[in-house]
């Protein structure tokens, strides 16, 4: 049995999320302070998509703003996220990249691989949330946040487990995060394969994995509820997560795949991806259906680990940090009015979404409420 760290001290240090081997569940289910029980499932980054629909426009050689910055109207917002703390749970960060010069960054490694980002995924997502200008190009939505919390919950190969993500969420909350961004997913098929490799029959392995998946949903839901409840004790916090890149509508219109965990959890904002076309923005066919909101996720230019330069990626992993950045701007907007709480933040973010920039013919399930927008007043 393994335990995640406690939730905020003001809620009570005795309250815990416990992960356990399936056979140990009944033993720990009645323990005082245990709010959720689940097996330790493998996680992995939401892998960027290498090829996309040919109708999408490539990212031009930006000289002022990346297209995503303009799509969410961050370039015209008077706000930068001042006074707001943002957490990014991913593969870490290349702290020496020019995009993060002058940024107040706190790192925590949960993987054992040490701080840093040799994989590159976390650096790219962090650049979209808080990155400073690189070669006169703006890549970051919320460039003036108070503190950036980098939780390394995926190792140098881009893999991890649900324990690390649980620990990362709780650490971020304890550190004062107002927004938590996660571009990762549960590797269900990997867990089935691991069980089979241990000698478990395939049908029983699938059954165990399904039971574990269901328990993990409950665990994420319980933790998300505590994050929301923390508004009354410490600070309001909103979790945003990638919807996933598993959709196969581009192969067969009937092969429509719904939002994956942890984004599918009640209490977590799920994010779909859209891209540019000559007739307007269009949902990416790889983007899982049923997300709450949408954001730029095709040809997104951001920080490239190890190079000091920029690179364009595709995926809901790239859309999610746009939403996290916009959420930070709305958090600042509310804070200046003494109205910052979890309900108001979620409501303002949702209400900002618009379908106006979308090309005709989109399905509502592919974009949720629409493309999130940054506040246009201080």
Q: Which of 165, 181, 270, 317 is labelled catalytic?
A: 317
User: What is the C-alpha to C-alpha distance for residues 240 and 259, in angstroms, rounded to an integer?
Assistant: 13
Of the residues 20, 90, 159, 181, which is catalytic?
A: 90
Beta bridge partners of 351: none
Containing 105, the helix (H) or strand (E) segment is strand 105-109
Is 317 labeled as catalytic in the residue annotation? yes
As a whole number of angstroms, the distance between CA 57 and CA 312 comes to 12
| Given the residues 97, 121, 159, 322, the one annotated as active site | 121
Written as six digits, the tokens of 153 are: 């919950």
Pairing outcome for strands 159-161 and 16-19:
unpaired
Cis omega before residue 262 (within 30°)? yes
CA distance 218 to 140: 33
Where do the H-state alpha helices sit in 106-201? 121-130, 162-174, 188-197
The 3-state secondary structure of 282-317 reads EECCCCCECCCEEEECCCEEEECCCCCCEEEECCHH
SS3 call for 33: coil
Nearest Cα residue to 179 out of 376, 377, 372, 378: 372
Distance spanning both ends of the chain, measured CA to CA: 48
* Catalytic residue list contains 90: yes
Annotated active-site positions, please?
90, 121, 317
């Amino acid at each position: 049995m393994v335990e995640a760290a406690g939730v905020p001290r003001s809620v009570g240090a005795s309250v815990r999320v416990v992960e356990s081997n399936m056979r140990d569940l009944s033993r720990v289910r009645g323990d005082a302070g245990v709010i959720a029980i689940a097996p330790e499932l493998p996680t992995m980054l939401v892998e960027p998509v290498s090829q996309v629909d040919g109708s999408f426009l490539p990212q031009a050689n930006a000289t002022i703003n990346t297209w995503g910055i303009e799509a969410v109207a961050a370039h015209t917002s008077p706000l930068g996220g001042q006074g707001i703390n943002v957490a990014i749970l991913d593969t870490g960060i290349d702290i020496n990249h020019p995009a993060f010069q002058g940024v107040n960054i706190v790192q925590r490694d949960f993987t054992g691989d040490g701080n840093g980002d040799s994989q590159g995924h976390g650096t790219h997502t962090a650049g979209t949330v808080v990155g400073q200008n690189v070669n006169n190009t703006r890549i970051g939505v919320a460039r003036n946040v108070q503190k950036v919390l980098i939780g390394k919950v995926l190792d140098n190969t881009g893999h991890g487990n649900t324990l690390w993500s649980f620990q990362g969420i709780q650490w971020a909350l304890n550190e004062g995060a107002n927004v938590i961004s996660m571009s990762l997913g549960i590797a269900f098929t990997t867990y089935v394969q691991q069980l089979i490799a241990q000698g478990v029959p395939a049908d029983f392995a699938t059954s165990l994995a399904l039971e574990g998946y269901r328990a993990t949903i409950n665990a994420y839901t319980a933790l998300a509820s505590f994050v929301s409840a923390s508004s009354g004790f410490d600070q309001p916090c909103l979790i945003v997560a990638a919807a996933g890149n598993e959709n196969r509508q581009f192969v067969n219109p009937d092969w429509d795949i719904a939002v994956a965990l942890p984004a599918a959890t009640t209490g977590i904002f799920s994010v779909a991806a859209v891209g540019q076309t000559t007739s307007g923005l269009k949902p990416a066919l790889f983007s899982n259906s049923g997300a709450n909101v949408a954001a730029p996720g095709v040809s997104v230019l951001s920080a490239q680990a190890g190079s000091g330069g920029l690179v364009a990626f595709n995926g809901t992993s790239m859309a999610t940090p746009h939403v996290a950045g916009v959420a930070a701007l709305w958090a600042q907007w509310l804070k200046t009015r003494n109205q910052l709480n979890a309900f108001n933040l979620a409501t303002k973010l949702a209400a900002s979404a618009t379908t106006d920039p979308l090309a005709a013919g989109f399905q509502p399930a592919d974009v949720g409420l629409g493309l999130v927008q940054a506040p246009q007043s201080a």
